[in-house]
Amino acid sequence: MQHRQQGMTQEIAAAKSAISTRTARRIEQSNTLPRTKADRDWRTREDPLEAVWETELVVLLNAKPDLTPITLLEHLQAHYPDQYDQRVLRTLQRRVKQWKALHGPEKEVIFRQQAQAGECKKICVSGILSMYLKGIKNASIRPAYRPVIS
């Protein structure tokens, strides 16, 4: 709370920070900053695709990278009935998206260019011609259609 560090009372600093006095007191007494949690590195539940991801699904994706998660889920449901239901679909979508980002085919990159008709031509030609009309002979840009005048 920077207002508190400037010498204001706790009530005024809390009001200026738009928090309650009780929250301001708790923040001041604690040694850690609020909302600083360590990222968890454990799973909250067991992986439903652990048995088949590397052995079957990655092999299918390597063979045909354009397979969709729904197609893969249908494949699992056909080969393992009553083991993989629709609840696995979102997990499968996340896995396939991550796999395609890391190992899938590269996407074609397109840089869209929208040029105004005649805009570049007008700027380039007028700049070069104005240099020559003013008598600037040592310009670094010389038009290819005009001979150099010494």
Number of helices (H) and strands (E), helices first, in the chain? 7, 0
Are 96 and 69 in contact by the 8 Å Cβ rule? The answer is: yes
pLDDT digits (tens, 9 = 90+) for 117-128: 655 555 555 566
User: In angstroms, what CA-CA distances link 92 with 46, 47, 49?
Assistant: 14, 11, 8
Tell me the CA distances in angstroms from 22 to 53, 104, 110, one per residue in order. 50, 52, 54
pLDDT in tens, 59-97: 999 999 999 999 999 999 999 999 999 999 999 999 999
The pLDDT of 104-121, averaged and rounded, is 73
133: number of Cβ within 10 Å: 8
- H/E element, 23: helix 21-29
Integer Cα distance of 119 and 47 in angstroms: 58
Residue-wise pLDDT tens digits, 33-54: 666 667 788 888 899 999 999 9
46 within 8 A of 88, measured Cβ to Cβ: no
